[in-house]
């Protein structure tokens, strides 16, 4: 059995990065998390960094703007995973440059972790966000860097904790806004499962230069279905406010950042059905729950049970 790949995770203290770091450690990969020095002064991130160290993770303080440190760190690993946030997507060009200079990387996973860019018909400001991902993808292919593109669709903890209600951090108990007719299907994946599937893919030849889609069958559902399931759990009906598409488009234009980008994402996902309006092309894409049936993923129903 060959040795497990050495992994560098950039953005490891972020929303999805911490789950990828955890999955890498649990899978036995020698793992480096590159974190900014400023993270040590943030109480929450400092505690997370300590937990990484206790799990055997090597911490390197630096960032993607420190080219020398980045190249030196990349030379120590086989796989680079970027979990950078949406505001810094284009800065991944620095990672691509460092990977080319290091010359040893067997696989790069850029910060996709959402919907498939080629199947998105979104409006601004989400359109620019997806456009930046497409630019990074093109740069990776142009430079001939081996890659895997990961599309996990909706983070369950974000969407199911709030039912896509702006400003909410808990599921609705009285009333709920439903975008469009509420029937568009979306895909919700628990963050721990996203980390597990991502790490399983890094040494898998079936995912080399491919797109890895996370479409767990039990987690493909509409907002109407989620609300109905929730109503049964709490034993009451919610007051439903259906927001027509034309009103949503107007609201996107009138809202400040970050509400405008969230609403434009909700429009693409929950009205236009961007996550489920296409079939996976087997020539360049694979589905995670089919590749790794041994992973017992958290279903939407199980996640909702936690929230009751």
For the annotated catalytic residues, the residue numbers are 133
What six digits make up the tokens of 252? 């996107």
Q: Number of H helices and number of E strands within the chain?
A: 12, 13
Please state, in angstroms and rounded to a whole number, the distance separating the CA atoms of residues 227 and 243: 15
User: If we measure between CA atoms, which residue out of 128, 119, 118 comes closest to residue 261?
Assistant: 128
What six digits make up the tokens of 229? 């399931």
Is residue 225 a contact partner of residue 214, using CB atoms and an 8 Å limit? no
Task: Please report, to the nearest 10 degrees, the dihedral formed by the alpha carbons of residues 299, 20, 127, 86 taken in order.
Answer: 130
Element (H, E) at 81: strand 79-82
């Amino acid at each position: 059995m060959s040795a497990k790949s050495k992994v560098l995770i950039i953005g490891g203290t972020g929303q999805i990065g911490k789950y990828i770091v955890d999955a890498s450690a649990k899978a036995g990969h020698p793992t480096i998390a590159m974190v900014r020095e400023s993270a040590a002064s943030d109480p929450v991130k400092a505690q997370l960094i300590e937990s990484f160290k206790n799990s055997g993770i090597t911490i390197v303080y630096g960032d993607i703007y420190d080219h020398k440190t980045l190249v030196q760190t990349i030379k120590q690993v086989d796989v680079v995973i970027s979990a950078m946030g949406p505001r810094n997507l284009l800065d991944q060009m620095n990672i691509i440059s460092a990977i080319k200079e290091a010359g040893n990387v067997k696989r790069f996973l850029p910060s996709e972790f959402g919907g498939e860019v080629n199947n998105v018909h979104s409006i601004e400001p989400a359109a620019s966000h997806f456009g930046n991902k497409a630019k990074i993808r093109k740069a990776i292919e142009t430079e001939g860097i081996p890659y895997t593109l990961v599309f996990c669709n909706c983070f369950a903890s974000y969407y199911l904790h709030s039912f896509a209600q702006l400003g909410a951090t808990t599921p609705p108990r009285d009333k709920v806004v439903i975008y469009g007719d509420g029937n568009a299907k979306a895909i919700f994946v628990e963050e721990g499962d996203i980390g597990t599937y991502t790490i399983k893919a890094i040494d898998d030849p079936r995912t080399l230069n491919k797109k890895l889609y996370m479409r767990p069958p039990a987690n493909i559902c509409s907002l109407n279905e989620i609300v109905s399931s929730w109503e049964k759990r709490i034993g009451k009906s919610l007051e439903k406010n259906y927001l027509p598409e034309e009103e949503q488009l107007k609201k996107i234009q009138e809202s400040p950042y970050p509400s405008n980008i969230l609403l434009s994402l909700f429009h693409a996902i929950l009205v236009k059905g961007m996550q489920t309006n296409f079939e996976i092309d087997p020539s360049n894409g694979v589905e995670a729950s089919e590749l790794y049936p041994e992973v017992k993923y958290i279903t939407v129903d199980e996640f909702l049970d936690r929230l009751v």
